[in-house]
Structure 1
């Protein structure tokens, strides 16, 4: 079995498309098809159920994909370990982060880290909180800036900062003259939520249920700015982290504190419990942990 067969197969599964996989690997599509066919013949199973409109994994394909991702992660770990033996001052950290959040939590930390470790490159990608865990399981990223809670059986967490969620309303809304409100008092309001792939969606729904009601969802969006604009045009209200309110910078919005229940929004850096962590990744995790523990002590 050729390691390239596993690489090509995993890439096809990730993209669910032979052409996109070929472009990602910088090889021809026939080369990928030939490799996967050879893998199927060697294992004497069908790995991919192909139709004109979609491509799904067979049961055997699911099993091979699970093993293949682990093998490739081990291979990458071996290569990284050898590179560290040659030169421990060089390396790469694949960092995933939630959109917008990383821009106010990490820039200064990364700048200071680069001064101390100029030979370590940081590759940054943006995903929703839910996708971050999936990307980490697949080995696409080494560490992730996300929000708690997370799967404690799979990941370790370095707590960073915590803040509360607040309500934002139009300045002519009945809440515009109020500084504080309980979540229960908002049960008749139209809510603008983030889409279901974002952790914020679940957090708000859960808080509303604890307060005895199911939120009336008027609209959903995946963009912070767009949520703010919809509130500014009186299409509804929304609950967002306090730090995001300051970034919206919209004169049509009024912020209202939630008195009960207090909805915590805890940021953390997470990484896999099992699997290889490169010297560069360990150095980055340690550096971030020290920076935030120092800031909290001041």
Structure 2
């Protein structure tokens, strides 16, 4: 079994079409068919249900898929480790972060690392915590950065605190609450509350923290992207709860105000998550060393 066949198998799995997969692989459709048939002959099972317009995985293909992903990811990581052993002047580093962390906290770290190791290509994935954990499990990323209220299997992963983060009730200065220094949680129920949907980790975090103090979210406005939530708040549509570090520029410009809650402080830790049994590449080790040194200050 060679890696080229496994790669072709995964591309076909993702596209569901021999035509699209061949285009993505820059090979002819007969060449792709030959690779897949060779892999099936080697394993002695059919991997795809074939029709004229679509291909779907058989049960054998479903079982092969995670193993193929891991084999290719492990090979890629081994290759990167070998390339970087002598010096950090070539190679790549793949890691992930949730939206707030990737957009507001990591850019200074990326700039510092690029200056220190300009030959290393950085590949940062910004996605949901659920997707990032899945990518880490599949060895597609070397480490990820999440909020500490995300459930992590600490028998499998090392969870290392990086820095603290505080969230505040946020409103436009023109909002009736704009001049308040603090507010009771129950007062939020009268307002349009702009927040990510109920399946999001931030919704679950706020629900857990504030429902005991009377939050009922009677007038929610669901928006899936944090920057859009911030823009809607600035335009006076309603209130939101946002990380302080995501609105530094807007507060300085007088576009947003923050209000503390009377009953509790909304604090969380940003954590670095990596697998215990996995050897990090030298580039990943160097980047984590830099993260530990850098302390984000507003």
CA distance in 2, matches of 1:15, 1:274: 32
Give 3-state SS (helix, strand or coil) of 2:178's partner: helix
**Which shows bigger deviation, 155-164 or 54-63?**
54-63
Q: Who is 1:270 aligned against?
A: 273
The structural deviation recorded for 1:172 is 4.6
Q: Who is 1:193 aligned against?
A: 195
Superposed, which structure 2 residues align to 1:195-214 within 5 Å?
Answer: 195=197, 198-214=200-216
Give the TM-score of the pair, scaled to structure 1.
0.80
Gaps spanning 5+ residues in structure 2: where? none
Q: Deviations over 1:138-191 (max 9, x none)?
A: 333223233223413443233222121111234454423321123233234332
Q: Who is 2:25 aligned against?
A: 25
**How many residues matched?**
294
CA distance in 1, matches of 2:172, 2:51: 50
**Cα distance change of structure 1 residues 241 and 69 upon mapping to structure 2, 3 Å threshold:** same
The structural deviation recorded for 1:75 is 1.9
CA distance in 1, matches of 2:12, 2:225: 29
Report if aligned partners of 1:19, 1:29 keep a CA contact under 8 Å in 2. yes
Give 3-state SS (helix, strand or coil) of 2:99's partner: coil
**Which shows bigger deviation, 42-51 or 3-12?**
42-51
CA distance in 2, matches of 1:135, 1:111: 24
The structural deviation recorded for 1:13 is 3.4
Q: Who is 2:126 aligned against?
A: 126
Report if aligned partners of 2:188, 2:215 keep a CA contact under 8 Å in 1. no
The structural deviation recorded for 1:257 is 1.3
The structural deviation recorded for 1:124 is 2.7
Task: Give me the CA root mean square deviation.
Answer: 3.3
**Which shows bigger deviation, 40-49 or 118-127?**
40-49
Q: Who is 1:149 aligned against?
A: 149
Q: Who is 2:168 aligned against?
A: 166
Q: Who is 2:261 aligned against?
A: 258
**Cα distance change of structure 1 residues 136 and 20 upon mapping to structure 2, 3 Å threshold:** farther
Give 3-state SS (helix, strand or coil) of 1:238's partner: strand
CA distance in 1, matches of 2:269, 2:18: 40
CA distance in 2, matches of 1:211, 1:18: 56
CA distance in 2, matches of 1:20, 1:184: 54
Q: Who is 2:99 aligned against?
A: 99
Report if aligned partners of 2:189, 2:219 keep a CA contact under 8 Å in 1. no
